Structure 1
């Protein structure tokens, strides 16, 4: 999953293993399902989904290494660092269930459509193209949102090195219309896969993406709470919350912004 915040310096093991785990397993699963002796599927649908999965994986992998300054597992996700401090000496076993075991469930759940695509044969129809459009849109939105976030963080780091005041909040590009466009794009990708499965008569696979979205909603709250704890950006971020959609890109709520300025 993508993050709006920076990572804290700590033991690299947890953040390193889990972040890259997500970029690899879906690719491995889609090829496993396609090569299984009992697999039954439409060749074109299978190849399109394989290609999309590779593109999605490369985007996520590129963003991980770019965010970590092209280092391999150098930093740990700040959320895991906070949890480590919370659980103390019990973290070694809590992390097994809260981080590693739960990730297996999430990954199998969100990848259920990949299984359906390779277990049901059916001709291509308009819904396949809708699914392709949704998946590509999700990948593109996540890429541009993460690129804009990376450029924002890089500019602030340079300003800090020069002893100049940093910009409190990113409110340009896709971030002008959504507080978490990178999260929105990532979720759009997974729900696009659900459309493929639904079209093949297995709409129940939405459960995996729904649970993933619910977990990301909790992560969103953690990220926003973290923003509000940072004194230099708290006021700007409160206004940002009042005027900008959480996930789905939408127009600014200018009426609320004007009201807030007048009070």
Structure 2
């Protein structure tokens, strides 16, 4: 069968299942729970259709490593436990009428996000029909993908350590200060894990470019739409942080939102010293 058709059928099945489970359980993180798993299946389907051509195997292995790491991080935060719903869904649900949120759940959470997951995997479809042999660009792309994977791992570990410290402070009857992470990689970006996550999928699109020699084609849509999703998610997340932490606005003023960069105060000091 056409691998794209197989992936579309699988995507449709997952979409129906995640929506149905959300209706039954009244938890809306079912797409979050398959976010790191479905791409592994999609990319390996394209690899199998290409008779496990070296480029496709490399792409599938990279996505598998990405998926294992992200699944582990989601698991240790309790995402797969009953009640392990992303806290932002409850907040959003409280801001919308019931019928509007259920429409949002069907159209955006279930249908759009599942379609997006398949979309950012589709550079594998382009690579699968290419007869260009694997080469130096593929090796470079793999190295950059792994570097971004390491960056995201470090950022998630720093966040994990911080939240465990906060929990320990509260358990001891103390109020944790500061209330949000602003050291390590978070000193240079307010959301370094978001940045590295998006960057990996832009690199993944690069494999389609290496396979075809064409810089711009339709499979760029997945990476582009993922970036737009993260921007919207970041704005919403920060609106919550600003309401909870009085010092967050100062952190926003001095720290890059996504792309890691030197804090504003350090830039100003360096410029004045020149």
TM-score by length of 1: 0.84
Name the count of aligned residue pairs.
240
Larger mean CA deviation between 183-192 and 80-89 belongs to 80-89
2 CA distance for matches of 1:12 and 1:95? 10
Is the Cα contact below 8 Å between 2:46 and 2:56 reproduced in 1?
Answer: no
Partner of 2:246: 234
Which among 145, 149, 156 is matched to residue 155 of structure 2? Answer: 145
2:84 to 61, 75, 86: 75
Q: In structure 1, what is the Cα distance between the partners aligned to 2:259 and 2:41?
A: 30
1:173 equivalent in structure 2: 184
Q: Decide which of 141, 154, 168 is 2:164's aligned counterpart.
A: 154
Given that 1:242 and 1:253 are in contact with CA atoms closer than 8 Å, whether structure 2 keeps it comes out as yes
Please, which of 154, 166, 174 is the counterpart of residue 164 of structure 1? 174
From 26, 43, 48, the counterpart of 2:39 = 26
Distance, in Å, in 1 between the alignment partners of 2:117 and 2:189 is 26
Equivalent residue number for residue 5 of structure 2: none
Whole-Å separation in 1 of the counterparts to 2:85 and 2:26: 5
Distance 1:151 1:143 in 2: 12
Deviation track 1:71-96 (CA, whole Å, cap 9, x = no partner) reads: 53432112222332213144333311
| CA distance in structure 1 between the partners assigned to 2:125 and 2:102 by the alignment | 33
Unpaired segments of 5 or more residues in structure 2? 1-24, 270-274
Question: What are the superposed Cα offsets for residues 178-215 of structure 1, whole Å, 9 maximum, x if unpaired?
Answer: 10000011011101101111122253222210111011
Asked if 1:108 corresponds to 2:138, the answer is no
- RMSD value, Cα: 2.0
Residue 251 of structure 1, CA deviation: 1.0
In structure 1, how many angstroms separate the alpha carbons of the residues matched to 2:100 and 2:62?
Answer: 40
Alignment gaps of 5+ in structure 1: 1-10, 259-263
Measure how far apart 1:103 and its partner are: 1.2
Secondary structure of the structure 1 residue equivalent to 2:241 = helix
Secondary structure at 2:36 match in 1: helix
CA distance in 1, matches of 2:268, 2:88: 31
Which structure 2 residues correspond to residues 1-263 of structure 1 after superposition, within 5 A? Answer: 13-15=27-29, 17-36=30-49, 39=50, 43-68=53-78, 71-85=80-94, 86-167=96-177, 168-201=179-212, 202=214, 203-204=216-217, 205-230=219-244, 233-235=245-247, 237-254=248-265
Provide the TM-score with structure 2 as the length reference.
0.81
Secondary structure of 1:247 counterpart: coil
Query: What is residue 9 of structure 2 aligned with on the other side?
Result: none
Shift of 1:257: 8.3
Offset of 1:255 from its aligned partner?
5.9
Q: Give a deviation string over 1:6-44, Cα, whole Å, max 9, x none.
A: xxxxx66321x11121111111111211222xx377x22
The Cα shift of 1:99 comes to 0.7
Q: 1:83 to 1:169 in 2, by over 3 A?
A: closer
How many Å separate the matches in 1 of 2:60 and 2:81? 26
How far 1:246 sits from its partner (Å)?
Answer: 0.9
